[in-house]
Chains A and B, each alone.
Chain A
Amino acid sequence: MKKAILSGLALLVVAASVSACGGSDNKSNEDAASSNNSTETKTTDSTPAKEETAAEEVIDPFAKFAEPTEVSIGRAIDPNYKYDGTDTAEDNVYTRWLKDKYNIVVKHAWEAASGNDYQQKVSLAISSNDLPDALVVNETQLRQMVKAGQLADLTDVYDKYASSELKAVYDSNPGLLDSVTFDGKLYALPETTLPSAPMTWIRKDWLDKLNLEAPKSLEDLGKIAQAFIDNKMGGDKTVGIVGTQQGGSLSSNFLASTDHWYNFSPLFFANDAYPGIWVKDKDGNAVYGSITEETKNALAMMKDWYAKGILDKELGIRKSTAEVVASGQTGIFFGPWWSAYNLSDSMKNDPNANWRPYIAPLDAAGKFNSNQATGSSYIVVSKKAKHPEAVIKMTTLHKWGKDEEYKTLTAGKEMTSQEVPLFLILGAGDQLEYAVNHLRQYLKDEIKLEDIDNINYGWAHEMATHVKAIKKEPFDNYDIQYFDQQADTGFFTHIYAHLNGGSTFVDADINWVRSIATAQTKTMESRWTNLKKLEDETFFKIIMGTEDISAFDTFVTKWKDQGGDKITEEVNELK
């Protein structure tokens, strides 16, 4: 114990001497840090504190801590995830590797099921000011924590301990670090959000059986859903299109983007409606997407579809949409390219389940619209944390620390967010596009393995080494029967998701619509609970038929009166 405290103090001295140097030295620190990366000096870890010289001291982001360094975290757990043997989220191949190789000991302050439970637990931790050393949070929570002054300023630690690769990634995503810099202080490590638009996922095996064409318009989609129901493709209880489950929202909004997974965003987008985000009207003024005429039209259409039984009769009530998809009761849902990662249960129940994504439905002008998801994940470090540098190191190691030893230990299995603590998606902005395109070219032998950039696109390179065992000919057909699911189980889902979901998305021509506001304005802070409730209630009631479509106009009036107009003014000032 005493030893641990001492080493903690030693590291604190380093941190203190760095911050004592002040802002003017920052530039030279950065230079020092980046230059030492290139020289790969691995001798400095044994001399942690040298008082004044510490600032200029070369720090190797890949060095082992001299003493076991503990980092407590709150952790989101997938209750259905199966670990190898007796492994757990806290003690598995990855965490043991971190401990043995780098002396980073990850302790769980608490665990919660990923999704709502985890978000709730994080919010509770913020409110009670009882934070573990590090957490993965969403944007609203990040802002709340910054406002409450609960976070550690990571500016110096990042400069010193982030590897050149990590810095390169953030440099290639311009503006990303600025978005988490408040008053000149860096408060979080943001995820390099992969772009995502909701596509329509359809059971192609069902389409083929019924001799149906892939959908283009809303009308096509409605007809396909109707045909699936009429022909009882999923049994007597076939559900046309599934989406929102209990506690979920109809579409993603500017504050909490659910990445469009399992909701009904595309039905709005195909009507040129963008509920939940702030868009520009004809005159260029900000307007809230949920109160536009287009949204009204979309709701009227959804109301009609619901009445016909095309939309899930239990939308918003059902406990788990995933269950319906897995059990083969439905053939259509909406989701981003990575939805393919979550189809394994469905394929387990029915090996013929051939889920394919479609760039549909298109709007009247034939465009495929999507709002740009704003929500993202952030690693934050508590002000009280003793070793913020360990968190930075973990982030670097997760991406770039994988040596031969690691590969032996994990036996080629790709670690997921369930093994890796503080999991963050990091990569160059065009990561997905690069990976998908190079995988395709590599399959066709148009390029060699060495042509894939292993330094900046390590993940693409890694996948390429596995892709040939998994993907069968024809290489440009991504139906499930042209994948070997058993050959390389550790990589199958990755390859499947990238080739099946990723390729469709990468090739698509998408009309992106961005929200003008991406955070709460002053009035929103007090009024939003009320306005959001009004919106959710009205929309659900209209769709489910308990209210007439005219309720929409009442909603708009009320929304404006109860603070909406004031908020719109504030958002207009943001433009």
Chain B
Amino acid sequence: MIPKSFSKHFYIMLIPGLVWLALFNLYPMYGVLTAFKEFNPGLGIWKSPWVGMENFQYMFELDDSKLVFRNTVVIAFAKMVGNLLVPFVFALMLNEVKNRLLTRTVQTVVYLPHFLSWVIVAGMMLDIFSYSGPVNQVLSGLGLDPIMFFGNAHIFPALVVGSDVWKEFGFNAIIFFSALTSINPEMYEAAAVDGASQWQRLIKITIPSIIPVAALLATLSLGNILNAGFDQIFNMYNPSVYSTGDIVDTWVYRAGLIDFQYGLATAVGLLKSVVGLVLITISYTLAYRFANYRIF
């Protein structure tokens, strides 16, 4: 039995979180109505006339909607994989470095990009991969033709995923570092006594010990599969890469805020949320089943 005085302050601590949730996640739910209306900003959401499922019908007629959903899933999935694998391998590698000063320095340096906004990073990327940028200079040094990286629809998704992984891997590695430090050193000592090599210790002790953390992160990130990163793509894309680079969020932005097709934009956004909800439920169930992770 938990004493009453004990549980109370936990609930109090919960208040800011709940207020945040109500303000930013529950209150905007009202706006979802826009998807079923012909929204007129002057009348407000409630008084605008209903149009039933018209917006959804039109959405499914458009080739574009399928395309942007596909692009979103492809980019988001590739980011998920990259953001899991790269930090994982990086953490393992850095863990083997015994010079603590070096480890710390590297750790600090690689997570710095996480704090830069996409406006800045996208600008950097555009310069680095520009026609006369450093990458193309290296290519021409090798006798190859320069490549228009950001104008090529085949390369664009790779640039998006690559730059995202570059920006985030240092930060994402932190959780692996902490998992690594929680491995009981006695296991390594015992293995060393038994004559296990450095490699064997990595394969048999280190990796199995942090696999549960990796599995947990993987399942939890499933909920983000429809978030391909508006900030990033908006600052990097151009019409010639629409076919592979236009995602749900950028499309909704253009339809809603540039062309004032509020209903259609909301309908697409709502569909995204519904699919996202299903995926989050699945990922939570999986996390509970396999990693015994529980929120409540």
Contact = CB atoms under 8 A, between A and B. Distances in A.
Interface of A: 120, 123-124, 126-129, 140, 144-145, 147-150, 237, 246-247, 313-314, 316-319, 525-526, 528-530, 532-533, 536-537, 539-541, 544, 546, 562
Interface stretch (B94-102, B145-153, B178-186): B145-153
Contact of B261 (A140, A318, A525, A544): A525
Contact of A546 (B132, B240, B254, B262): B240
Contact of A129 (B42, B64, B153, B261): B42
B41 A126 contact: yes
Given A148-B40, A529-B259, A540-B238, 16 more contacts: A127-B41, A148-B42, A149-B40, A149-B43, A246-B238, A247-B238, A314-B150, A316-B238, A317-B148, A525-B261, A529-B255, A529-B258, A530-B62, A537-B239, A541-B153, A541-B239
10 contacts: A127-B260, A129-B44, A148-B40, A150-B42, A314-B148, A317-B150, A319-B126, A528-B259, A536-B239, A546-B152
Main secondary structure of the interface of A (DSSP, over half): helix
Contact of A533 (B42, B242, B256): B242
B257 A319 contact: no
A42 B43 CA distance: 42
B103 interface: no
Given A124-B257, A149-B42, A314-B130, A544 B240 contact: yes
Contacts, number: 99
Nearest to A237: B132
Contact of A317 (B63, B64, B126, B256): B126
B247 to A, nearest CB: 13
A282 to B, nearest CB: 30
A313 B38 CA distance: 42
Contact of B239 (A128, A528, A533): A533
Nearest to B136: A313
A86 B247 CA distance: 44
Contacts of B46: none
Interface in B8-67: 40-44, 58, 62-64
Contacts of A525: 261
Contacts of B242: 533, 536-537
A533 B242 CA distance: 8
A26 B213 CA distance: 77
B64 A530 contact: yes
Nearest to A536: B239
Contacts of B42: 129, 145, 147-150
Contacts of B146: 313
A247 to B, nearest CB: 8
Given A129-B42, A149-B42, A546-B151, A123 B260 contact: yes
A123 B41 contact: no
A533 B240 contact: no
Given A316-B151, A533-B239, A546-B153, A123 B43 contact: no
B239 A127 contact: no
Contacts of B239: 316, 533, 536-537, 539-541
Interface of B: 40-44, 58, 62-64, 123, 126, 130-132, 146, 148, 150-153, 238-240, 242-243, 246, 254-262, 264
Please list the 5 inter-chain residue pairs (A to B) with the smallest Cβ-Cβ separation, ordered nearest first: A148-B42, A536-B239, A540-B240, A149-B42, A313-B131
A16 to B, nearest CB: 22
Contacts of A144: 41, 260
Contacts of A147: 40, 42
A537 B41 contact: no
Given A237-B132, A529-B254, A316 B43 contact: no
Contacts of B240: 316, 537, 540-541, 544, 546
A119 B152 CA distance: 28
Nearest to A313: B131
Nearest to A256: B258
B41 A526 contact: no
A316 B152 CA distance: 12
A537 B243 contact: yes
Nearest to B265: A529
A120 B148 CA distance: 29
A249 B40 CA distance: 28
Nearest to A244: B238
B238 A140 contact: no
B257 A120 contact: yes
A129 B148 CA distance: 42
Contact of B41 (A120, A148, A237, A540): A148
B60 to A, nearest CB: 13
A532 B243 CA distance: 14
A123 B239 CA distance: 21
A148 B132 CA distance: 48
A247 B146 CA distance: 24
A314 B260 contact: no
B254 to A, nearest CB: 6
